[in-house]
Amino acid sequence: MPRLRLFSRALPVALALALVAPAAALAAPPPTAVVTMGDSYMSGEAGRWLGNSADIAGDRDGSDRACVFTFGLCTSYDESAVYVDGTAADGCHRSDVSEVLSAQLPVGRSVNIACSGAVSSDLLRSSSGGTMAHGEAPQADQLLPVAKSTRIRMIVVSVGGNDLGFAPIVTACFEAYLAHMAPCSQTQAAALSDANLAAATAKIENAIDEIRATMRSAGYADADYRLVLQTYPVVIPHAADARYTELDPRRTVEGCPFYDVDMDWAQNVAAPRIGDAVKAAAAARGTQVLELLHAFAGHEVCAKTASAVSLLSPPSPTGSEWGRAVSPSAIAEGETQELFHPNAYGQRAFGDCLAALYAAHRGNYACTGAAGRAPGEMVLGPLG
């Protein structure tokens, strides 16, 4: 009988605990999150690569992260090991080292819904005319369930480059050099006219409005999270900082087939003007800016202070290039959509910038690199 009495006294306690535990679990707050949206510079395009090697065999001097090794030898390639969640197949190419996944962030979830090739209309809600990239739903529609299931602290967006024809401009530049035609700084200047920049700015503003509307529909006030627009880095150096002179055939072999005047145009005019459209939209809509124009300084493709990967010069976060080369070997090794994009080192540098931005007070910032600096040694400062 004593045992029965003890059992009867314990039973109400056990029942009480059983009832309280589920209630406590239901009351747990949702995880916090940072979300990235937009185009290939955010999705992680070219994250497969650690620098650039002219060796198209095997593991490409250790630069190919997609290598599948058998008995210590690279016997095949698996892009899905790098471009995750089915995006190797659909072409969105969200890499495992994309900016938000590389960043050391104090949040419960890091979510990347950016897609290679995206334009501003791909960020809209389908109800507002949002378009699909690579068969995926408009990004605002993808954002909504994330907003409802988490507490989003920051959204970072990279968009505008494709609206201004970034890929055709780059193509025109290297085709001009290879075919000995007029420099692209002459033939492509109209693509970055004031009228085209204004049109792109309006499209980016519309995308911002749609992101805000999506978040409001999920119960957020605008002040509940930080919305940041990110600009683009320059992937090639000034002509004076290039490893090879204009007529040196190694410019073609090692992935910088551009005239001197076009290299300087990319640094001084093209990339800054594309960034101007992004920053104008941010100013018009009251969002923050993360300027990445000089993030690859000293690590550009063909920069004197960086080197191509070889047996004698293995991949190095401090010494290798941070962008994907535009070379015959790069085309033979991977996919053309990877060309002229941040590689794994570049993506990790972006991630370092994002972590620093998250820790900083609200405001506009520039994040810069330097020769000899590793991806984890980026410097964030106020945007002047």
Summarised one tens digit per residue, pLDDT across range 42-52 is 999 999 999 99
Map residue 229 onto helix, strand or coil. Answer: strand
Map residue 230 onto helix, strand or coil. Answer: strand
pLDDT score at 193:
97
Average pLDDT rounded to a whole number, residues 140-153: 98
Average pLDDT rounded to a whole number, residues 254-283: 98
The verdict on domain 31-55+91-382 having CATH code 3.40.50.1110 is yes
pLDDT score at 125:
98
Decide if 324 contacts 341 (C-beta within 8 A).
Answer: yes
What tokens appear for 268 in the block?
């001084």
pLDDT score at 335:
96
- pLDDT, tens digit (0-9, with 9 covering 90-100), for 296-314: 999 999 999 999 999 999 9
The percent of residues in the chain predicted with pLDDT above 90, rounded, is: 92
Q: Which of 9-13, 90-94, 264-268, 341-345 has the lowest mean pLDDT?
A: 9-13
Q: How far apart are CA 90 and CA 164, in angstroms?
A: 23
Average pLDDT rounded to a whole number, residues 352-362: 98
Q: How far apart are CA 124 and CA 120, in angstroms?
A: 7
**Residue 10, pLDDT above cutoff 70:** no
**Residue 5, pLDDT above cutoff 90:** no
- pLDDT, tens digit (0-9, with 9 covering 90-100), for 191-212: 999 999 999 999 999 999 999 9
Specify the higher pLDDT residue, 7 or 247.
247
Decide if 347 contacts 36 (C-beta within 8 A).
Answer: no
- For the chain, the structural domain boundaries read 31-55+91-382
**Residue 13, pLDDT above cutoff 80:** no
- 356's enclosing H/E stretch is helix 344-359
CA end-to-end span of the chain: 82
Q: How far apart are CA 258 and CA 237, in angstroms?
A: 11
Q: Report pTM.
A: 0.92
pLDDT score at 68:
98
Specify the higher pLDDT residue, 136 or 23.
136
**Residue 93, pLDDT above cutoff 70:** yes
pLDDT score at 19:
53
**Residue 342, pLDDT above cutoff 80:** yes
pLDDT score at 27:
67
pLDDT score at 11:
46
Task: List, as one string, the DSSP characters of 282-340.
Answer: HHHHT-EEEE-TTTTTT-STTBTTSB-B-SSS---TTTB-SB---SHHHHHHS-GGGTT
- pLDDT, tens digit (0-9, with 9 covering 90-100), for 17-40: 555 555 555 668 999 999 999 999
- pLDDT, tens digit (0-9, with 9 covering 90-100), for 230-240: 999 999 999 99
**What's the whole-number average pLDDT of the chain?**
94
pLDDT score at 56:
97
